[in-house]
Amino acid sequence: MTGGAWWRNAVFYEIYVRSFADSDGDGLGDLPGIRSRLPYLRDLGVDALWLTPFYPTPDADHGYDVADYVDVDPRFGTLADFDALVADAHALRLRLIVDVVPNHTSSEHAWFRNALADPSHPDRARYVFRPGRGDGPPNNWPSNFGGPAWTRDPRSGEWYLHLFAPEQPDLDWHNPQVRDDFEAILRFWLDRGADGFRIDVGHALYKDPELRDEEEPFPQTPFASDWRAAIDRPEVHDVYQDWRRLVDGYDGDRALVGEVVFSDPRRVAAYTRRDELHMAFNFALLFEPWEAERLRGTIERSLAASEEVGAPQTWVFENHDVPRLPTRYGGGEEGLRRARAAALLLLALPGPAFLYQGQELGLEEVELPPELRQDPVFHRTGGARPGRDGCRVPIPWTREAPAFGFTTGEPWLPQPAHWGNLSAEAQADDDAATLRLYRDALRLRPQLAGPLDWRDSPQGTLVFARGDVLCAVNVGGDPLALPRGDVLLTSEPLPQETLVAGTAAWIRA
Binding site for ligand GLC (CB under 6 A): 61, 64, 101, 164, 200-201, 259, 320-321
230 within 8 A of 141, measured Cβ to Cβ: yes
Q: What whole-number distance in Å separates Cα of residue 218 and Cα of residue 228?
A: 9
427 within 8 A of 437, measured Cβ to Cβ: no
Q: Which is nearer to ligand GLC, 179 or 320 (CB)?
A: 320
Query: Is the preceding omega at residue 326 within 30 degrees of 0, hence cis?
Result: no
Q: Which is nearer to ligand GLC, 199 or 448 (CB)?
A: 199
360 an active-site residue? no
Q: Which is nearer to ligand GLC, 201 or 424 (CB)?
A: 201
Beta-carbon contacts of residue 362 (< 8 Å; ≥ 6 apart): 326, 336, 339, 340, 422, 434, 435
Beta-carbon contacts of residue 36 (< 8 Å; ≥ 6 apart): 21, 23
- Report which residue's Cβ sits closest to ligand GLC: 64
State in angstroms the smallest separation of the CB of 164 from ligand GLC: 5
State in angstroms the smallest separation of the CB of 187 from ligand GLC: 22
Q: Which is nearer to ligand GLC, 168 or 272 (CB)?
A: 168
Q: What is the 3-state secondary structure (H, E, C) of 401-450?
A: CCHHHCCCCCCCCCCCHHHHHHCHHHHHCCCCCHHHHHHHHHHHHHHCCC
State in angstroms the smallest separation of the CB of 331 from ligand GLC: 23
Nearest to 255 by CA among 166, 343, 346, 352: 352
Region of 68 on the Ramachandran plot (φ > 0 left; ψ -120 to 50 alpha; else beta): beta
Q: How do strand 48-51 and strand 11-15 relate by DSSP bridges?
A: parallel
Q: Which is nearer to ligand GLC, 60 or 345 (CB)?
A: 60
276 an active-site residue? no
Q: Which of 99, 195, 259, 360 is catalytic?
A: 259
State in angstroms the smallest separation of the CB of 414 from ligand GLC: 21
Distance (Å) of CA 506 to CA 46, 287, 427, 437: 19, 25, 22, 12
Q: Which of 167, 200, 232, 364 is catalytic?
A: 200
- Amino acid at residue number 130: R
Beta-carbon contacts of residue 231 (< 8 Å; ≥ 6 apart): 203, 204, 206, 207, 208, 225
- Amino acid at residue number 2: T
Q: How do strand 129-130 and strand 150-152 relate by DSSP bridges?
A: unpaired
Beta-carbon contacts of residue 198 (< 8 Å; ≥ 6 apart): 50, 97, 98, 99, 100, 257, 258, 259
State in angstroms the smallest separation of the CB of 53 from ligand GLC: 9
State in angstroms the smallest separation of the CB of 451 from ligand GLC: 30
Q: Which is nearer to ligand GLC, 259 or 389 (CB)?
A: 259
Q: Which is nearer to ligand GLC, 123 or 321 (CB)?
A: 321
State in angstroms the smallest separation of the CB of 205 from ligand GLC: 12
Q: Which residues are catalytic?
A: 200, 259
